[in-house]
Amino acid sequence: MSTAGKVIKCKAAVLWETKKPFSIEDIEVAPPKAHEVRIKMVATGVCRSDDHAISGSITTPLPVILGHEGAGIVESVGEGVTSVKPGDKVIPLFSPQCGKCRICKHPESNFCMKNDLVQPRGTLLDGTSRFTCKGKSIYNFTSTSTFSQYTVVDEIAVAKIDGASPLDKVCLIGCGFSTGYGSAVKVAKVTPGSTCAVFGLGGVGLSVIIGCKTAGAARIIAVDINKDKFAKAKELGATECINPLDYSKPIHEVLQEMTDGGVDFSFEVIGRLDTMMSSLLSSHASCGVSVVVGVPPNSQSLSVNPLLLLLGRTWKGAIFGGFKSKDSVPKLVADFMAKKFPLEPLITHVLPFEKINEAFELLRSGKSIRTVLTF
């Protein structure tokens, strides 16, 4: 019996308060309105940005259904939807692409002005949510809310992908992989023969390494305080791994000494102000490019001596690896299917959706790279 046009009752992980575990709740998901798409989730990754929302390090309205690295199948579509249809395999886009705003029309930029990231309303574009639980409206997260058996997204926040693709792997293209890989190949534009430093070896940082290697970097120096991450970093292309805890001097000085004054490309993929500064200082003062990938804690800032940039160094950052999401996600999935890059090494754990709190414990304890939750 078709569920189109009807309210769907299903399970979702609801975060009622920050710093608390999720509760698996029975929720209602209203049908999609015009230009919206209802998706049956099949798999979702667990990213540190979700944990930032749990800890309150990034602010989003509560109660909320988090999750932004998912893949699923279109259940039904609202009036006027043309880019996807029921049965299509899709990836929700936490950084949407409306195609019409100034940024979508800009050839290089990707951060669509219809995003719900900078000042989150926690709703779809029409200002409301399709989720209710115990008679209360539940907020959306980053246009996606993948920690639910069903979610509703705006058409500008979903991309149709290859019908043959394995959703329990390509879900990582919805955030972690694309963010890291794009930061190297598209944002930094890593060059063949160059030297790179990657701070933070989680799912995103390891994807930066995959990107640096693909771009032909000669040296990729991986930096993490958890040495258990080094084996995987080497497997994916790191040529050296260093632990700041093993040195008495600042790690940027160690990197400068190792690389004749600094690396060509450095990446901060942790989300801390001190490591953002270390990453900046480890890039060469005249020819270095340093990319901020990690999400810094709310309302904290760095004070920077302009001389750090005056000699020619470039400091930049990007969301979602600089990719225009709706255009790029189907291509990235096609590239994965063509074996141009692997995703499997990033997936260390697969758990049923109900074990979501366990998945976050694995992330916090540094035991997992990516856990994929399956529905």
Token code pair at residue 144: 């996606």
Candidates 12, 66, 77, 104; binder of Zn ion (CB under 5 A) is 104
| SS3 label, residue 339 | coil
**Stretch near ligand PAD under the rule CB under 6 A, chosen from 71-79, 209-217, 290-298, 346-354:** 290-298
Candidates 32, 72, 237, 294; binder of ligand PAD (CB under 6 A) is 294
148 touches Zn ion by CB under 5 A = no
272 touches ligand PAD by CB under 6 A = yes
Among candidate residues 171, 175, 212, 241, the one labeled active-site is 175
Q: Cα separation of 322 and 110, whole Å?
A: 6
Q: Which does 203 bind (CB under 5 to 8 A by kind): ligand PAD, Zn ion, none?
A: ligand PAD
Shortest reach from residue 209's CB to ligand PAD, in Å: 11
Candidates 96, 122, 203, 330; binder of ligand PAD (CB under 6 A) is 203
Environment class of residue 311 by beta-carbon count within 10 Å: exposed (0-12), middle (13-18) or buried (19+)?
exposed
Cα separation values, 369 from 59, 72, 201, 207, 268, Å? 24, 22, 8, 11, 17
- Cβ atoms of 249 and 242 within 8 Å: the answer is no
Candidates 52, 114, 160, 326; binder of ligand PAD (CB under 6 A) is 52
Token code pair at residue 178: 């694309």
225 touches ligand PAD by CB under 6 A = yes
- Cβ atoms of 313 and 286 within 8 Å: the answer is yes
Q: Residue 175 catalytic?
A: yes
- Cβ atoms of 184 and 289 within 8 Å: the answer is no
The alpha-helical segments, DSSP class H, found in the chain are 48-55, 102-105, 167-170, 176-182, 203-214, 230-236, 251-258, 273-282, 307-310, 325-337, 356-364
Candidates 8, 27, 37, 47; binder of ligand PAD (CB under 6 A) is 47
Which parts of this chain interact with ligand PAD (CB under 6 A)?
Answer: 47-49, 52, 175-176, 179, 199-205, 223-226, 229, 244, 269-272, 275, 293-295, 319-320, 363, 366
Task: Write out the catalytic residue numbers.
Answer: 47, 49, 52, 68, 175
Residues that bind Zn ion (CB under 5 A): 47, 49, 98, 101, 104, 112, 175
